[in-house]
């Protein structure tokens, strides 16, 4: 969780810089081949990797194959991989898939006008950087090792933490991992009847990941080093994990819901009683009535409220004979 938090914070820019530094070098014939359509037409501007077809995995290898008639398959493959890594280390990253520019703009405009989702968010959802790729890989590896665990709560806890990390980082690759893992966890919970454990695990994993991310963000805002951020995230995550392991989130919700219901009932009763007390005295006496006197010869009929006198006289359910 701590590593996911570092990769999801502002410190991701530093990590991306480290990735780019490893593969840094002058543009090669393979880089130019990948950018060929952009160089020729200027399509997409700074977001051209979404539209030029040379920056998806398949597109990059296809471009590298046609870069030179004299190179070998190994050289082409290495050129494509290095080109992708260099581009993944930049803020614009790489596209998940190649879009038609007009279609992309139409979808982005619809999302913005209908749901107020900025175009920049839609762009981010369709691209990934080196750190996001690493974050997705870490999440996938963690799930592979925990996939066959019989402990529903432990697996759900892992999924909850990964889900929070993917949401905070807007990492599309990690979101895909989360969707698959969430489906697996939910199916396991239904099969074993451990729905409460599933909910508890999800909540605890989310709390641990959220706390770790908050610690990392604090270090990031203060300009602290990556190592300090990672250490603080680990310590925070451990403390929150120990604390939440002693509490059932489902039980807490049930208690809070019960207290809220009691408070609402008490408030309603007090409001009802106050209004009644203003309208009706504690004891109401009805004078002689021929119809009533025919049933009782004792004279006037007196009604007394069963409680302290706050019940309206027409609430016969709470009235009694004196």
Classify strands 127-128 and 94-95 as parallel, antiparallel or unpaired: antiparallel
Six-digit token pair at 298? 């004792």
pLDDT of residue 149: 61
Q: What is the mean pLDDT of residues 86-107?
A: 94
pLDDT of 304 above 80: no
- Nearest Cα neighbor of 188 from 154, 139, 142 is 154
Q: What is the pLDDT of residues 133-150, one digit of tens each?
A: 877 787 888 888 887 765
Q: What is the mean pLDDT of residues 89-117?
A: 95
- Nearest Cα neighbor of 158 from 133, 172, 139, 173 is 139
Q: What is the pLDDT of residues 8-37, one digit of tens each?
A: 555 566 667 766 676 778 899 999 999 999
- CA angle 37–40–45, rounded 5-degree value: 70
Do 161 and 187 contact (CB within 8 A), yes or no?
Answer: no
């Amino acid at each position: 969780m701590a590593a996911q938090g570092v990769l999801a914070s502002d410190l991701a820019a530093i990590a991306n810089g480290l990735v780019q530094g490893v593969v840094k070098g002058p543009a090669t014939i393979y880089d130019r081949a990948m950018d060929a359509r952009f160089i020729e037409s200027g399509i997409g501007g700074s977001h051209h990797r979404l539209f030029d077809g040379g920056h998806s995995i398949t597109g990059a290898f296809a471009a590298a194959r046609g870069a030179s008639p004299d190179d070998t398959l190994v050289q082409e493959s290495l050129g494509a991989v290095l080109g992708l890594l260099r581009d993944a280390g930049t803020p614009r990253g790489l596209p998940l898939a190649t879009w038609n520019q007009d279609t992309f703009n139409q979808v982005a405009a619809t999302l913005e006008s209908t749901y107020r989702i900025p175009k920049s968010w839609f762009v981010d959802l369709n691209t990934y950087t080196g750190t996001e790729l690493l974050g997705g890989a870490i999440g996938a590896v963690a799930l592979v090792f925990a996939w066959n665990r019989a402990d529903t709560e432990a697996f759900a806890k892992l999924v909850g933490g990964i889900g929070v990390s993917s949401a905070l980082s807007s990492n599309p690759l990690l979101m895909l991992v989360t969707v698959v893992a969430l489906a697996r966890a939910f199916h396991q919970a239904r099969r074993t009847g451990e729905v409460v454990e599933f909910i508890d695990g999800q909540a605890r994993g989310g709390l641990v990941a959220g706390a770790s991310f908050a610690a990392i963000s604090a270090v990031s805002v203060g300009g602290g080093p990556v190592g300090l951020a990672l250490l603080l995230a680990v310590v925070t995550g451990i403390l929150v994990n120990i604390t939440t392991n002693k509490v059932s989130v489902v039980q807490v919700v049930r208690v809070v819901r019960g207290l809220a219901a009691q408070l609402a009932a008490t408030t309603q009763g007090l409001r009802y009683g106050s209004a009644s007390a203003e309208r009706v005295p504690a004891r109401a006496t009805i004078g002689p009535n021929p119809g009533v006197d025919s049933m009782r010869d004792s004279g006037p009929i007196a009604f007394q409220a069963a409680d302290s006198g706050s019940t309206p006289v027409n609430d016969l359910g709470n009235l009694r004979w004196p």
